[in-house]
Structure 1
Amino acid sequence: IPEEKWFINLHKIGNVGSASSYIQLEELFNTKTLRRGEKILLSVPESGRFSYVYALLEVT
């Protein structure tokens, strides 16, 4: 996935644990124009990089 398509807010918000993905999605929804059918790949690494969680979301 090209870097220009990434949405990252870690530098502004910092690591807030399990709330990170929800805060990032809220900011994405409030600052970007999303169109029906667009897909969002959510990648959430655990702070020790031991495990990752992925979710594929679709705008409806």
Structure 2
Amino acid sequence: FTNLTSVGNIGSAAIYVGLEELIRTKEIKQGDKILLLVPESGRFSYGTVLLTAD
């Protein structure tokens, strides 16, 4: 999934905007697993969250 062409580079807000778009368009179904991966700019660090749609 990418929304870069529709919203541009919005930095750290992109993960929330993308998740909201997936929910709004009903592309996420109950039981789907969603992996959120956010790289930290400038270093070799990542934050991850694994969600299950309810």
Which structure shows the bigger proportion of residues in strand conformation?
2
Equivalent AA in structure 2 for residue 23 of structure 1: V
The one of 19, 23, 30 equivalent to 1:29 is 23
The one of 5, 30, 54 equivalent to 1:11 is 5
Root-mean-square deviation (CA, aligned residues, Å) is: 1.9
TM-score where L is the length of structure 1: 0.67
| Structure 2 unaligned regions, length at least 5 | none
In structure 2, the residue matched to 1:40 is 34
The whole-number CA distance in structure 2 between the counterparts of 1:55 and 1:9 is 19
TM-score where L is the length of structure 2: 0.72
**Secondary structure in structure 2 of the residue aligned to 1:19:** helix
Alignment length, in residue pairs?
54
